[in-house]
Amino acid sequence: MKLIEKMLCAFVFLIVGIQMHLYSQSPKNVIDEVVWVVGDEAILRSDVEAARLEFGANIQGNPYCVIPEQLAIQKLFLHQAQLDSIDIPSSTVSANVEERLNELIMRAGSKEKLEEYYRKTMTQIREMMFESIKEQYTVQQVRENLTKDVKVTPAEVRRYFKEVPEDSLPWIPAQVEVQIITMQPRIPQEEIDRVKAELREYTERVNSGESSFSTLAILYSEDPGSARYGGEMDYAGRGEFDPAFASVAFSLTDPKKISKVVESEYGFHIIQLVDKRGDKVKVKHILRKPKLDPADIDVALGRLDTVAEDLRKEKFTFDEAATYLSDDKDSRKNHGLMTNLKIDQTTGERIRTSRFQMQDLPQEIAKVVSTMKTGEISAPFTMVNSKGKEVCAIVKVKTYIKAHRASMAEDFQVLKDVVVSKMKEEKIKQWIKEKQRTTYIRINEDWRDCEFQYPGWVK
């Protein structure tokens, strides 16, 4: 992947976020200066230094040549976005900000450590990330608009790979397609009542002043993502929550009051409003999950064992069983076929596929599938689903594809994607060269002595 994609996909916002005190560490000890001008946009030495400090180990070549060129390319894309009136919805950006912010917090160890690293408050970090990620999405949209009409025919794919040596064809790792049926063990009503009573007790303790909501969340909430922060979640839109949770969270108006107990796909919650900002809300919550009785798990495993045996006897198909019996909403509508969301490393596009490499499967499923053959149906087993609940499951290996060199017969789509990606990249390269000819560009004398990827910068 070219550096521009790496920089865009690997937390572009980090470039903007390094404080000015770091810039003085540059070899020439210059606080800041304009080193490039592209159109009416300036590239500062501080921009280059920030990127060098963050990506230095991954940059091939002179960073004072490579980095400003890639920043210049990005400015060309952003200028085109203005011409095309591209405006990325704030909700899309905000959702990505929170996802990436949570990743950074986990890596740093805490919100406080992240704030210490950036020397910014969480609000400032979030605002910084918002602008950078919005630029990332904007650049990606421009690229997609420029290449949306690129298409290839089967004849063009065959012609392209006809001259490629066999040992240079793409290597396809071993992949599997897996169908799954899950069953949620029965939860006794008395256990549900116990959890609800527990949450009501927490509410009473907060209302009486005996404990704070945050303290109880730290001690008792079973949401690992928010418990350590006193149950506090970041600003989020309605669509980012479970529907039942969102309905209650967005109905809250008084930060001093606590919601009634609400059930979601994750368990049972009580919620406290922190703040509202436009179409987003910040809340605290305490999550409690009913405990499963081993006997109820055994009952569910037994039912699935019967289903598996009937499937082996071909009394009905796995497709039918998954559609009508499975509790897994995501795969049920797809006849139990699991899907995998992947990112195209060349274009950055999100692609949903039914093919998994073994390491991409959930750990419990991978362990079972690794010993199975095509068409085989597993014995029932337990696993934790994407909602954090323990469920029982059986799986079927629908297809197993051994690792191999790509061939036109078996991997036409893979080979087609390779050709399409190369044609898109070529179109982008030609577009950049044309923009170089028609855009005002000025580079400081000290920054011109470079072997640029696109020589047209210096006129």
Range in 16-20, 144-148, 175-179, 238-242 the model is least confident about: 16-20
- What is the pLDDT, as a whole number, of residue 1? 38
Lowest-pLDDT choice from 149-163, 188-202, 332-346, 409-423: 332-346
Mean pLDDT, residues 251-256: 94
Dist CA 102 CA 226 (whole Å): 10
Could you tell me which CATH number the domain at 3-151+422-457 has?
1.10.4030
Confidence grade of residue 117 (pLDDT, cut at 50, 70, 90): confident
Average pLDDT over residues 386-396: 91
Reported pTM: 0.59
Q: What is the pLDDT of residue 93?
A: 85
Tell me the average pLDDT of the chain: 87
Same fold, 3-151+422-457 and 174-186+293-402: no
- Which pLDDT band, with edges at 50, 70 and 90, does 409 fall under? confident
pLDDT at 106 > cutoff 80: no
| CATH hierarchy code of domain 189-288 | 3.10.50.40
User: Per-residue pLDDT for 202 more than 60?
Assistant: yes
Percent of the chain with pLDDT over 70: 91
pLDDT for 58 equals 73
Reported as a pLDDT band with limits 50, 70 and 90, residue 81 is very high
Q: Which amino acid is located at 46 in the chain?
A: S
Tell whether the model's pLDDT for residue 4 goes beyond 70. no
Alpha-carbon dihedral angle through residues 445, 449, 452, 457, given to the nearest 10 degrees: 30
| Residue-level pLDDT at 441 | 95
In the numeric block, which tokens belong to residue 4? Answer: 């521009």
| pLDDT-wise least confident of 8-17, 91-100, 234-243 | 8-17
Task: Give the mean model confidence (pLDDT) for residues 204-216.
Answer: 95
Whole-number pLDDT of residue 13: 36
Q: Does domain 174-186+293-402 have CATH number 3.10.50.40?
A: yes
Q: CA 360, CA 13: separation in Å to the nearest integer?
A: 27
- The confidence score (pLDDT) of residue 109 equals 78
Give residue 121's pLDDT band: very low, low, confident or very high (50, 70, 90).
Answer: confident
What's the pLDDT at 14? 38
Reference 271, options 263, 102, 238; nearest CA is: 263
- Does residue 442 carry a pLDDT above 90? yes
Per-residue confidence (pLDDT) for residue 12, from 0 to 100: 36
Is 417 or 196 the better-scoring residue by pLDDT?
A: 196
Taking 80 as the threshold, does the pLDDT of residue 436 lie above it?
yes
pLDDT in tens, 366-387: 999 999 999 999 999 999 888 8
pLDDT bracket for residue 236 (50, 70, 90)? confident
- The CA R_g of the chain, rounded to the nearest whole Å, is 27
**Tens of pLDDT along 262-312?**
999 999 999 999 999 888 899 999 999 999 999 999 999 999 999 999 999
Which range among 186-195, 222-231, 380-389 has the greatest average pLDDT?
186-195
291/389 Cα distance (integer angstroms): 10
- pLDDT above 50: residue 245: yes
Q: Mean per-residue pLDDT for 80-106?
A: 83
- Domain segments of the chain: what residues? 3-151+422-457, 174-186+293-402, 189-288
Per-residue pLDDT reduced to its tens digit, 20-72: 333 334 444 446 899 999 999 999 999 898 888 767 667 888 999 999 999 99
